[in-house]
Structure 1
Amino acid sequence: MMRPIELTLLILTMTAAGLFLLPKITARLKFQVMPLVLVLAAAAQVGLEGFRWQLWPLMIAVLLLLVAAGLQLSRGQKAKKPLSWVIVSLILAVISLAAGWLLPVPEPFPITGPYQVGTTVLPLKDTSRKEIYSPDPNDPREIMVQVWYPASPTKADERALWMPDIDTAAPALAGWYDLPSFVLNHFEYFKGNAYLDAPLYPDGEEWPILIFSHGWSGFKEQNIYQVEELASQGYLVVGINHTYGAIQTSFPDGRQMLRNDAALPEGVSQEEYDLASNRLVRQWAEDIAFVLDEFAQRDQAVGEWPFSGRVDFSKVGVFGHSTGGGATAEFCGTDARCKAALVMDLWVEPVSSSVVAAGLSQPFLLMHSADWVDLEEPSPNFLRIGQLLSASSGETVEFRVEGTMHRDFSVLPMLTPLSRLLGLQGSIDGDRCLSLINYYTVAFFDQYLRELDRGLLLPENAPYPEAQFALRP
């Protein structure tokens, strides 16, 4: 998919190339008017939309046509038709078209709630905990969080970038996919639905608070489609960047903390790995507890706090993906403030044995991707989930989404058709997958935090046949 001015420039370039070969078209139109139009369109694209590397072939095609037009004008009737110039220009334009389709500037996933959405980013420092993954053992634990909330944006408010630190995060993300560092630089133009630092919706209502925990090598914005939808439905959502477990964490003072691979060490015994992974999940669960502590403290403090009096701390939900799902289970198994837990592709093996043995007392929704749960050959992780569920006293809902892979629960389906070609995305349509996830996420938290039981979680009422229930005997 190309942006409007990009597409316009592409069409004009191919039109101009075609006109160069038509004998009945006047020289003035072909070699003076059309080149001027191309220059103006190229300038508009760069000035209004912003240049991205996928357009280099197209811009070179424009330059070739300008040079060809100049040669035609200077040589007059003696000039030959610029056939080779036109062919090369058309090939370059097609290359840009393909690059723009394979690596588009993503559009925000549509939100369906009654509210518009605002967002803000906050650094938080927990002086009561030492950082266990930094070079200096005396460093305090520091994290970045992003808040999405119901908002009433003004005309002056601008939509926020998908990732505020995308200029440095894009190369790290590209490395995660084993791609050249520049390939994802166009994400600097990817904006979400939320408006940056927009005023809160002024109805005075207290909103339930939801905490999102990403997966290993993930980031707080990785489920942008989900957090924005929840905010549009009247929830205050806090996404945590778990420093040294996220792909990258950028702080306002310019510090950038990359993932510390030693947190999940390779080449060690299974016992050492289990201890390390449990240590990681417990730290992330402590991050969740700290965020709730910090927000509650700021809510009571005297001073400027934008969410003062707008959070219902008796209605706390936690949700996470993969390792973040493990952190969700760890937190909800040890902290009574958690009233509902939702996990996507739960990695439960690092969760403390005491939590697995005791189970969860809260309502618990588990979504699995098809490649995360093999029903014919259950993995140790799936069997351990069964132990957790058997010990749990809260209501549980569990299903597998057919045609999905692990990263389908993240923003990946929005980013590029290449993800399926690279074997990172399942066969399910990307938009349908994200709509399914949002449907069950909102239904679950509405039912258990707002007591809006509309029967939407019942298998017989499922509008998505891809959701396969009854996974266990």
Structure 2
Amino acid sequence: MWPRGPRPEDGRVTEIIAGLYVSPPELLALLGAVALVGARWLPLAARPRVTIAAGAVLVLSALVLGVVGIRWQMLPVLAGAAVASPFALSPLLRRRTGRPAWRARWWLALPGAVACVGLIAAGPVAAWAFPVPVFPEPSGRFAVGTRVVQWTDPRRPETFTADPHDRRTVVVQLWYPARKSPAGTERAQYLGRTEHEARTVSNALADYVGLPGFLIDGVPRARTHAVFNAPVADRGERFPVVLFSPGSGGVRTQNTVWAEELASHGFVVAALDHPYDSAAVVLTDGRTIRARTASTGDRDKDDRLAADWTAVRAADLRFVLTQLDRLGRGEIAGPPAGRLDTGRVAVGGHSMGGAAAVQAARQDCRFDAVMDLDGYPHGPVSPSLHRPTLALTQAITPGTDPGYLPRLTQALQHNTATSYRLTVPGAAHLTFMDGPLYLPPVPSIVGSLGRTGSPRVVAATTLAFLDTTLRHKPGDLTGVLSAHGDLSVYHPADSRRPGSIKLCDK
């Protein structure tokens, strides 16, 4: 079940009302502004009452918004109302002073009214284009808990800095099956542990892609369905683990919908921030590390840089798996300590994170399955993969990098386990993360599957793959995958080829 609204206990999250991504105070301000403009066209007897009521609703709504925080999308609404107010209130004031009311002829008033309505209409259009994201409710039987941890690898120097004593540090967010929280429990902030962190990350993401930060100022207002540090689900079972690496410039929370959905079905998801690569990483001591990775415009140089950054990410994933293994054995405290089954582990990622997942699986046979969400396989092509792999891609077009499909196909064809490439019609690169929830529904940017259709596809396909590869559940995996797009299945390469078998003592 994926309902279309947020949980009612969090009043700060905007609601979808009549298809508009606006909160109740915003809706009242919108209706008050429209009524203020429209009062002039009502019968003479009704005009004073409607004008007074509309003005009162508008003023009260504006005061409420001033307290809880006004979004930029409401500024055109208030501007339209401000322009209309003198013309709406003037006849009332003149009547109270005993002077005869003067009203312009309709053909003179009509252009002004149309202009004000146009300004007011720009508000809901902007709110629809850049909404506060509303997260689909997870469909599994478990509630979802979340936790943020920070781990430093003492054996690995930080290659992005010149300090020889600096060691590689990663920030990881866990989503896990949890007990149901009491009604009214505060839900986790999106993009950060606090609103300040969420705004820092939101502004950094906007800056990374060259957008003014105010355009997505609704994103850090959102709440998810998880609860920070919630108790782990009862029954004592151990849960399979899924590691996730975000796209270039991406952050650990960029696939929160997907992570919560998997956790509700009994997986522990660990998503990474990669310092100096993610747009912004806020450390526990309050420092913020900004991205230093950037394209140079030189194709060969960028390919080498991408391979280097992918290698760093792959090492991050391997290190985090080691830490998760310690958490699973109870050597690290806090939820979900002692409840991870690190004998069943998948690794995945979006874009460059998908490339990192492939490289990590090549290097570390503790990973049992791989998921590449529209990621170009940067880095070396050997050794061969030896794990079931699912690659989700957008449609290949003339504008697609000509090396992408051959490179991906090579990796899948030389796999010694069955691999699947699913091309999802209507998908774009950002379809495979949370972007469709809060970016304008422009097909070239977020695809044409819709705000909730995009996460449904990613969740349904990856859950079916994980149930098959990690839980060994019977079922028609090819049937489930092919229902969502064009499926290519790559059966295992010849296992007798020298070097094709990779033994691993897990």
* TM-score, normalised relative to structure 1: 0.88
Q: What residue number does 1:161 align with?
A: 189
1:388 and 2:411 are equivalent in the alignment: yes
Give the alignment partner of residue 335 of structure 1, picking from 356, 360, 364: 364
Superposition deviation, residue 40 in structure 1? 2.1
Residues 1:234 and 2:266 are matched in the alignment: yes
Can you list the C-alpha shifts for 1:48-72, whole angstroms capped at 9, x where unaligned?
5x41111112123344455555544
Question: 1:213 Cα shift?
Answer: 0.7
Amino acid at match of 1:330: Q
The count of aligned residue pairs is: 459
- Of the three residues 373, 376, 393, the one matched with 1:347 is 376
Contact kept? 2:384, 2:416, Cα under 8 Å: yes
Match of 1:357 in 2: 382
Q: Which residue of 1 aligns with 2:494?
A: none
**Alignment partner, residue 445 of structure 1:** 466
The one of 28, 51, 56 equivalent to 1:36 is 56
Partner Cα distance (1:449, 1:18) in 2: 61
Superposed CA deviations along residues 421-467 of structure 1, whole A, max 9, x for unmatched, are: xx323344453333122111000111111111211x214x5563533
* Equivalent in the alignment of 2:392: 367
Preserved contact between residue 57 and residue 96 of structure 1 (Cα < 8 Å): yes
When residues 60 and 341 of structure 1 are mapped into structure 2, their CA distance, relative to the original with a 3 A threshold, is same
Distance between the aligned counterparts of 1:12 and 1:366, measured in 2?
A: 50
User: Structure 1's 427 and 303: CA in aligned 2 closer, same or farther, altered over 3 A?
Assistant: closer
Q: Per-residue displacement from partner, 1:25-81 (whole Å, max 9, x unpaired)?
A: 346513433322222233344445x41111112123344455555544432152323
1:467 corresponds to which residue? 486
Q: Judge conservation of contact 2:202–2:217 (CA < 8 Å) in 1.
A: yes
CA separation in 1, counterparts of 2:434 and 2:27?
25
Q: Secondary structure at the match of 1:211?
A: strand
Which of residues 96, 103, 120 in structure 2 aligns to 1:81? 103
For residues 266 and 22 of structure 1, do their structure 2 counterparts lie closer, same or farther at Cα, with a shift above 3 Å needed? closer
1:280-299 matches, within 5 Å, as 280-299=309-328
Contact 2:189-2:223 at 8 Å conserved across structures:
yes
120 and 81 in structure 1: CA distance in 2 versus 1, 3 angstrom threshold: farther
Label 1:68 to 1:138 Cα distance change in 2 as closer, same or farther (>3 A). farther
Does residue 321 (structure 1) correspond to residue 350 (structure 2)? The answer is: yes
Please, which moves more after superposition, 403-412 or 436-445? Answer: 403-412
Q: Give distance in 1, aligned partners of 2:264 and 2:77.
A: 39
C-alpha deviations, 1:84-109, integer Å up to 9, x for none? 87555423211212211221222113
**1:62-211 maps to which residues of 2 (within 5 A)?**
62-64=81-83, 67-68=86-87, 70-76=89-95, 77-81=99-103, 83=109, 86-151=113-178, 152-164=180-192, 165-211=197-243
Call closer, same or farther: CA 1:59–1:405 in 2, change over 3 Å: same
Please tell me whether residue 426 in structure 1 is matched to residue 447 in structure 2: yes
Of stretches 213-222 and 230-239 in structure 1, the one that deviates more from structure 2 is 213-222
2:76 paired residue number? 57
2:256 to 224, 228, 238: 224
For 2:70, give the aligned amino acid.
F
Identity over the aligned pairs, expressed in percent? 27
Structure 1: gaps of 5 or more residues: none
- Tell me the distance in 1 between the aligned counterparts of 2:281 and 2:60: 40
CA distance in 2, matches of 1:96, 1:168: 25
Distance 1:155 1:70, change over 3 A: same
Change in Cα spacing, 1:428 to 1:36, as seen in structure 2 (3 Å) is closer
Question: Cα RMSD over matched residues?
Answer: 2.8
State the shift of 1:317 in Å.
Answer: 0.9
By how many angstroms is 1:309 displaced? 1.4
Partner SS, residue 408 of structure 2: helix
Q: Distance in 1 between matches of 2:332 and 2:356?
A: 32
Deviates most, 114-123 or 193-202: 193-202
Bigger mean CA deviation after superposition, 436-445 or 5-14 = 5-14
Structure 2 CA distance for aligned equivalents of residues 390 and 30 of structure 1: 70
Pair 1:186–1:367, CA change in 2 (3 A): same
- Give the stretch that moved more between structures: 217-226 or 64-73: 64-73
Q: Is the 8 A contact 1:343 1:365 kept in 2?
A: yes
- Secondary structure of 1:276's aligned partner: helix
What's the CA shift for 1:410?
1.8
Q: For residue 220 of structure 1, what is the amino acid of its counterpart?
A: R
SS of the aligned residue for 1:192 comes to coil
Residues 403 and 466 in structure 1, CA contact (< 8 A), matched pair in contact too: no
Which deviates further from its counterpart, 75-84 or 35-44?
A: 75-84
CA change 1:87–1:326 in 2 (3 A) is: closer
Deviation by residue 1:177-197 (Cα, 9 ceiling, x = unmatched): 432232111212222222233
Give the drift of 1:166.
2.6
Counterpart-to-counterpart distance in 2, 1:247 and 1:399: 29
> Secondary structure of 1:279's partner?
helix
Using a 3 Å threshold, how does the CA distance of structure 1 residues 197 and 43 change in structure 2: closer, same or farther?
farther
| 5+ residue gaps, structure 2 | 1-19, 492-506
- Give the secondary structure class of the aligned counterpart of 1:182: helix
The separation in 2 between residues aligned to 1:73 and 1:377, in whole angstroms, is: 63
Cα separation, 1, equivalents of 2:376 and 2:457 = 21
**Equivalent AA in structure 1 for residue 421 of structure 2:** E
Q: 1:81 to 1:143 in 2, by over 3 A?
A: farther
Kindly tell me: are residues 29 and 81 of structure 1, through their superposed partners in 2, closer, same or farther at Cα, counting changes over 3 Å?
same
